[in-house]
Structure 1
Amino acid sequence: MTEKIDDQELQTSNTPGYNPGEKKSVDEYAKLDANDESLNKWKASLGIGAGAASGDGPKVEFYSLSLESASRSEPIVFNFADLQGKKADLKKNPVIIKEGTEYNVKLDFKVNHDVISGLKYVQVVKKAGLTVDKLEEMVGSYGPSATPYEKRFPTEESPSGMLARTTYAVRSRIVDDDGNIYIDFDWSFKIAKEW
């Protein structure tokens, strides 16, 4: 499978009127407008001021991306710690997905010592060189936490029928409001009659 999905296709859309604002550290956010009740609630929702921030490691650690379905006993899991050595295998050995099945995608990650704003998951799917689907899912904004976060995306249904039963090329990316790319990998899946 030699289909190439270029960076241009993975560009995220902008929300009209939304301005991410100036980047601030966790300490700057904690001190910002300390008497503003609404702002304090927002800061608390991000874990700012809770003392859970770790000064070690990367800003964000992404653990896994999983595909879960009630019709399958175990999820299909992309473990990001193992991703580097398996990138070529992910493209050559497609993941099998049962046709007409409902599934959810789940992202597991941890924010260590900074506020991450506007995380997005973007995925482009190609079949026979043509883009057949683009998914752009807002993951959200998160503050540092000792406990990992889990984000589940809305339920989707895999295509079905004889024409759908083929192999698809996929490129997935996780990016934030500042344009930082955290995860970027190519993989493939095949729609089949059974898992």
Structure 2
Amino acid sequence: MADTAAEGIEDLHINTPEDENDSNYKPPPEKTIEEILETDKEDESLRKYKEKLLGDAKTGIVVVEPNDPRKVIVKKLALCVPERPDLELDLTGDISQLKKQVFVIKEGVSYRIRIDFIVQREIVHGLKYVQKTYRMGMPVDKMSHMVGSYPPKMEIQSYTTPAEDAPAGMMARGNYTVQSLFTDDDKHEHLKWEWSFEIKKDWKD
């Protein structure tokens, strides 16, 4: 199953029109932090809002991890289920090993996916999370979430997807492989990784 799914990982492109609910969406022109602060600077309330939004970035270049040249560093994926500890994947190590760590999910539960990431050096426009799910090598689900534009900050920033319900019923139980992609308006692939989960009748099955 994993080998067949792995062959399809190249299908996880960033320009997949069938994923897009915003097919007419055009990314805004990129602006430097200085240009953003200069715009409408006569509006005091707007100026203060933008300074608060930009945070550390307005005082100069923000570099959180100097040895990493990337603008976006994806740190963690978490599967969040109400009233249960988050199931987490560390995305800072050898991502080729992630699919060996299988999440167990009770059928029918409501869950969200949280992505923790760092933005450094400059503003990143139109971050997007794209996910394709396979079962026995066949695609069974695809989703794309617009994460938004983020300024560089010293602390970790996060995005959480809307709630979704896990499949339920005997036919839905089993192993699934997920291919995830964190990208942006400029079609930069900040991280692409593969992971797995198993749908069971109950958490302890």
TM-score when scaled to structure 2? Answer: 0.79
Which of the numbers 9, 12, 16 marks the counterpart of 1:6? 9
Residue 187 (structure 1) shift: 1.4
Asked if the contact 1:123/1:171 (under 8 Å) is kept, the reply is: yes
Corresponding position: 1:70 with 2:82: yes
- Find the counterpart in structure 1 of residue 119 from structure 2: 111
Asked if the contact 1:114/1:144 (under 8 Å) is kept, the reply is: yes
- Percent identical pairs in the alignment equals 34
- Count of residue pairs brought into register by the alignment: 191
RMSD after superposition: 2.6
Runs of 5+ consecutive residues of structure 1 not aligned to the other structure: none
Residue 184 (structure 1) shift: 0.3
Asked if the contact 1:71/1:101 (under 8 Å) is kept, the reply is: no
Secondary structure at the aligned position of 2:54 is classed as coil
Asked if the contact 2:182/2:189 (under 8 Å) is kept, the reply is: yes
- Cα distance change on mapping 1:176 and 1:36 into 2, 3 Å: farther
1:127-166 aligned within 5 A: 127-166=135-174
Which of the numbers 85, 91, 96 marks the counterpart of 1:80? 91
Distance in 1, matches of 2:174 and 2:24, equals 41
Corresponding position: 1:25 with 2:32: yes
Once the two structures are overlaid, the 10-residue window that deviates more, 157-166 or 24-33, is 24-33
Distance in 2, matches of 1:55 and 1:180, equals 19
Distance in 2, matches of 1:30 and 1:38, equals 12
- Find the counterpart in structure 2 of residue 186 from structure 1: 194
TM-score when scaled to structure 1? Answer: 0.83
- Cα distance change on mapping 1:182 and 1:93 into 2, 3 Å: same
Question: Which protein is richer in helix relative to its size?
Answer: 2
Distance in 2, matches of 1:17 and 1:135, equals 18
